[in-house]
């Protein structure tokens, strides 16, 4: 009866304007145009989900060496065909009932441009009559693919692709850009997100819509406003010419009935010092409601003024209906890295829960002026802890606790919105959230299911002057945030050490990677050749005395004129001496929040570390990446965890109903679909994050 109730609610809901027959497919990234992660399928339900068995495994066969590749793709399944991407970023079509490959498209070969490995979260689909196409972002290119053949559609752009560095209303040549998250289709338009560099120089994060047939740009919204545009006064006068980012990398959603695109944006570059971009910096860190047909702003809400903490909006919002005073309201809900859930009226942008601007501390850094207040919701309560006190320090062992307390006392005492400093401070939730790019699911009752990370990180700033004016300063500006002060890398983030790079690679190979990027590393093609060569020499021989380096950097590159007076020591998780989180558990959670009331229905740890369970420690939860799917059968499916498991939970109670081991961790959002009357659920098993092995397969499960 409960499944029927959910189904009837879904039919009457405006969550998705699709027919029941269409819901046999997983035809849109994250389930539907509203990114609800919801399916009306109910053959698999709470009573029988424990019987699930592996139906098929598709091995992509292109796993690169080095355990640094991933598959983050939430695949599409349409008319019995699964479309997904591989670790080497090929696009594949697979029979959704058997896992047999039908065709493969290799963009690196087809487009003549190097494509980063494994960084793709999904695809877009467009059809009208007999005309169909897949829209596939790889590197900086958007490709139009014939889904029947896997071939480029030559009438789109230049022989089937467009370069997203073009038509940004500025000269963006040489800048880093990657289309990691799929665009959203509205009528005959595709509205594109894009990932950009987080240091300066960076391209601006303007939102653009392209014609799905021709690739022609149809409209643009300037997230860093040009003169005369709304929000221009929230930046310095010349910011539109030199500031960067404020981009939508997480993806967006479309309310087709109202013609509104809801676009979440990230921080402006540089993430942690904004003395050169004084002001609140609209439209960075905003949810923007745009007319989907024209790109005109309808309303916006800024979650972080003048961001100095990398508080990007991490995932697309979800469209839902909530009840107020017996009346249904069309709403849009946005989760944040800080672990909050905001809910707005789609038409007006009015918050459906109370909030206020709260005073926050001033900056301690030279040239920086922090915003005086920041928005804070009064309800719902955050789903992740907000303050790291000594009481929250790990008690896993006495030695671990003592080490964490010592480090905690060395940094600035933690409080929310504490600005970056040279002493260093705690970021909680960490740089990856809170919520992360997998995003939440929502069912027709208005219950939101979100997985959260409860991880502390440490942010510490260093004056750029200590690195001098030569290539070491260039390394500090461009590389230190990921590869560390001493080029040691970050194994937990799959960032390699550069300390022996001169042994592993030839100088010309290092230069090529700097120019093109690799994996999550962006391109630095904007660097003049002489500057790039100076950086290569430094990486090979960091202690060598080479007076040419300083001369070659004068008046070129970001060291002079475009650089920040501060750099960060990197994206550093706060861990105990044994590599476990410094915070006491849980370290990862799954939460059910009733958006009608703002109250949580249940919360439970997500993930387990077997070695700690064997010591008698209850399941701690783990870091997790990738989102949940919820079905009319009352089941939540989610992988996401470091322990390489795939799980099913009761949507009503949070009870664990089923779990199985995967060939590699499923850091992706699953999909569920029906073929031949049988319901399947499939997950990409790409691993390759937080110290886990990389994988190359998609695994589908079904009832026997």
User: What sections of 570-643 are H helices per DSSP?
Assistant: 610-613
For residue 217, give the 3-state DSSP assignment: strand
| Residue 462 clears pLDDT 80, i.e. is over it | yes
pLDDT in tens, 321-357: 999 989 999 999 999 999 999 999 999 999 999 999 9
> Are the beta carbons of 224 and 242 closer than 8 angstroms?
no
The lowest-confidence range among 35-39, 56-60, 346-350, 569-573 is 569-573
Domain with CATH 2.140.10.10 in the chain: 164-385
* Total Cβ atoms within 10 A of residue 28: 26
Compute φ and ψ for 492, nearest 5 degrees: -65, -30
- Check residue 560 and give its pLDDT: 39
| Residue 522 clears pLDDT 70, i.e. is over it | yes
Q: How far apart are CA 621 and CA 53, in angstroms?
A: 24
Distances (CA, A) of 184 to 50, 133, 177, 252, 256: 35, 13, 18, 6, 11
> Are the beta carbons of 482 and 521 closer than 8 angstroms?
yes
pLDDT in tens, 253-310: 999 999 999 999 999 999 999 999 999 999 999 999 999 999 999 999 999 999 999 9
The two three-digit tokens of residue 696, written as one number = 């190359």
pLDDT in tens, 360-374: 999 999 999 999 999
Instruction: Point out which residues pair with 604 in neighbouring strands.
Output: 590
| Residue 493 clears pLDDT 80, i.e. is over it | no
The CATH code for residues 461-569 is: 1.10.760.10
| Residue 640 clears pLDDT 80, i.e. is over it | yes
> Are the beta carbons of 446 and 595 closer than 8 angstroms?
yes
> Are the beta carbons of 137 and 180 closer than 8 angstroms?
yes
pLDDT in tens, 85-121: 999 999 999 999 999 999 999 997 555 555 555 589 9
The 3-state secondary structure of 123-142, one letter per residue: CEEEEECCEEEEEEEECCEE
Domain with CATH 1.10.760.10 in the chain: 461-569
Average pLDDT over residues 161-190: 96
DSSP string, 232-292: GGGS-TTHHHH--B----S--EEETTTTEEEEE--PBSSTT--TTS-S--TTTTEEEEEET
Distances (CA, A) of 257 to 13, 30, 125, 191, 484: 12, 19, 19, 17, 48
- 112 compared with 179, residue with greater pLDDT: 179
- Check residue 117 and give its pLDDT: 57
Q: How far apart are CA 341 and CA 348, in angstroms?
A: 18
Compute φ and ψ for 101, nearest 5 degrees: -70, 135
| Residue 220 clears pLDDT 70, i.e. is over it | yes
Strands 91-95 and 101-105 turn out to be antiparallel
Write 13-18 long-range contacts (CB < 8 A, 24+). 13/321, 13/444, 14/257, 14/319, 14/321, 14/330, 15/319, 15/320, 15/321, 15/442, 15/444, 17/256, 17/257
- Check residue 5 and give its pLDDT: 36
| Residue 252 pLDDT level (bands cut at 50, 70, 90) | very high
| Residue 550 clears pLDDT 80, i.e. is over it | no
Name every residue whose Cβ is closer than 8 Å to that of residue 28 and which is 6 or more positions away in sequence.
76, 124, 125
| Residue 492 pLDDT level (bands cut at 50, 70, 90) | low
Distances (CA, A) of 30 to 39, 104, 316, 652: 10, 22, 9, 21
* Total Cβ atoms within 10 A of residue 290: 24
DSSP string, 653-694: T--EEEEEE-SS---S--EEEEETTEEEEEEEEEE-STTPPE
* Total Cβ atoms within 10 A of residue 216: 13
* Total Cβ atoms within 10 A of residue 395: 12
For residue 542, give the 3-state DSSP assignment: coil
> Are the beta carbons of 144 and 133 closer than 8 angstroms?
yes
| Residue 517 clears pLDDT 80, i.e. is over it | no
Q: Which of 22, 61, 51 is nearest to 698 (CA)?
A: 61
Q: Which of 540, 548, 569, 527 is nearest to 469 (CA)?
A: 548
Q: What is the mean pLDDT of the chain?
A: 91
The lowest-confidence range among 185-189, 217-221, 421-425, 543-547 is 543-547
The two three-digit tokens of residue 117, written as one number = 């490995």
| Residue 512 clears pLDDT 90, i.e. is over it | no
The CATH code for residues 164-385 is: 2.140.10.10
- Check residue 627 and give its pLDDT: 98
Q: Which helix (H) or strand (E) holds 530?
A: helix 529-540
Q: Which of 293, 286, 240 is nearest to 263 (CA)?
A: 286
DSSP 8-state code for residue 27: -
Torsion of CA 320, 323, 327, 332, to 10 degrees: -30
The two three-digit tokens of residue 293, written as one number = 């047909």
pLDDT in tens, 17-51: 333 334 899 999 999 999 999 999 999 999 999 99
659 burial via Cβ count (<10 Å: 0-12, 13-18, 19+): middle
Average pLDDT over residues 116-129: 88
- Check residue 111 and give its pLDDT: 52
Dmax over CA atoms of the chain, in Å, equals 78
> Are the beta carbons of 398 and 438 closer than 8 angstroms?
no
Average pLDDT over residues 654-669: 98
The two three-digit tokens of residue 274, written as one number = 């904004």
Q: What percent of the chain has pLDDT over 90?
A: 79
The lowest-confidence range among 313-317, 429-433, 504-508, 672-676 is 504-508
What is the CA 258 to chain-centroid distance, rounded? Answer: 26
- Check residue 114 and give its pLDDT: 55
Q: How far apart are CA 365 and CA 182, in angstroms?
A: 38
| Residue 481 pLDDT level (bands cut at 50, 70, 90) | confident
Average pLDDT over residues 489-505: 81
Q: Which of 93, 96, 148, 138 is nearest to 113 (CA)?
A: 138
């Amino acid at each position: 009866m409960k499944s029927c109730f959910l189904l009837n609610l879904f039919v009457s809901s405006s969550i998705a304007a699709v027919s029941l027959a269409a819901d046999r497919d997983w035809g849109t990234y994250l389930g539907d145009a509203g990114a609800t992660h919801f399916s009306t399928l109910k053959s698999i339900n709470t009573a029988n989900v424990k019987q699930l068995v592996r139906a098929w495994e598709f091995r992509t066969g292109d796993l690169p060496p080095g355990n640094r590749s991933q598959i983050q793709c939430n695949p599409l399944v349409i008319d019995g065909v699964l479309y997904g991407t591989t670790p080497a970023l090929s696009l594949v079509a697979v029979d959704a009932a058997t896992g047999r490959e039908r065709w493969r498209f290799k963009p690196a070969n087809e487009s003549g441009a190097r494509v980063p490995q494994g960084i793709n979260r999904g695809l877009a689909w467009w059809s009208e009559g007999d005309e169909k196409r897949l829209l596939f972002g790889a590197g900086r290119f958007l490709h139009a693919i014939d889904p029947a053949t896997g071939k480029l559609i030559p009438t789109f752009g230049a022989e089937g692709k467009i370069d997203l560095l073009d038509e940004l209303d500025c000269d963006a040549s040489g800048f880093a850009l990657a289309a990691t998250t799929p665009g959203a289709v509205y009528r005959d338009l595709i509205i594109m997100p894009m990932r950009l560099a987080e240091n300066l120089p960076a391209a601006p994060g303007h939102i653009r819509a392209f014609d799905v047939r021709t690739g022609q740009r149809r409209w643009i919204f300037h997230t860093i406003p040009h003169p005369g545009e709304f929000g221009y006064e929230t930046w310095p006068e010349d910011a539109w010419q030199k500031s960067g980012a404020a981009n939508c990398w997480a993806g967006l959603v479309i309310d087709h009935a109202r013609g509104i695109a809801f676009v979440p944006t990230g921080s402006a570059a540089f993430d942690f010092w904004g003395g050169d971009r004084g002001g609140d910096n609209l439209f960075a860190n905003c949810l923007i409601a745009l007319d989907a047909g024209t790109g005109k702003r309808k309303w916006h809400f800024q979650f972080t003024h003048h961001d100095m903490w990398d508080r990007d909006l991490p995932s697309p919002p979800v469209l839902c209906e909530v009840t107020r005073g017996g009346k249904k309201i069309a709403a849009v809900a946005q989760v944040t890295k800080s672990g909050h859930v905001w809910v707005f009226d789609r038409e007006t942008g009015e918050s459906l829960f109370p909030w206020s601007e709260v005073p926050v501390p001033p900056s301690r850094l030279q040239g920086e002026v922090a915003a005086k207040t920041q928005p804070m919701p009064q309800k719902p309560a955050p789903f992740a802890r907000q303050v790291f006190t000594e009481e929250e320090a790990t008690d896993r062992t006495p030695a671990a606790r003592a080490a964490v307390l010592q480090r905690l006392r060395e940094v600035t005492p933690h409080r929310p919105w504490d600005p970056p400093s040279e002493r260093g401070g705690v970021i909680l939730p960490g740089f990856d959230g809170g919520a992360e790019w997998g995003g939440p699911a929502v069912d027709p009752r208005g219950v939101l299911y979100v997985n959260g990370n409860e991880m502390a990180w440490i942010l510490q700033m260093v004056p750029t002057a200590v690195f001098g004016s030569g290539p070491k300063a260039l390394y500090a500006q461009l590389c230190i945030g990921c590869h560390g002060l001493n080029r040691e890398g970050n194994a937990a983030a799959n960032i390699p050490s550069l300390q022996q790079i001169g042994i592993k690679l030839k100088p010309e190979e290092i230069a090529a990677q700097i120019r093109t990027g690799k994996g999550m590393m962006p391109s630095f093609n904007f660097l003049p050749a002489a500057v790039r060569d100076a950086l290569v020499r430094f990486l090979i021989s960091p202690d060598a005395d080479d007076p040419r380096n300083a001369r070659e950097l004068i008046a070129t590159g970001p060291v002079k004129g475009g650089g920040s007076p501060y750099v960060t020591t990197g994206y550093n998780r706060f861990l105990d001496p044994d590599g476990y989180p410094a915070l006491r558990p849980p370290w990862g959670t799954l939460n059910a929040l009733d958006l009608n009331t703002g109250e949580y229905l249940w919360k439970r740890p997500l993930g387990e570390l077997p070695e700690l369970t064997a010591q008698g420690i209850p399941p701690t939860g783990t870091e997790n990446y990738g989102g949940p799917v919820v079905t009319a059968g009352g089941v939540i499916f989610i992988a996401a965890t470091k322990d390489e498991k795939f799980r099913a939970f009761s949507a009503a109670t949070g009870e664990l109903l089923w779990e199985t081991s995967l060939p590699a961790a499923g850091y992706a959002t699953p999909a569920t679909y029906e073929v031949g009357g049988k319901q399947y659920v499939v997950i990409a098993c790409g691993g390759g994050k937080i110290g886990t092995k990389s994988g190359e397969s998609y695994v589908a499960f079904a009832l026997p």
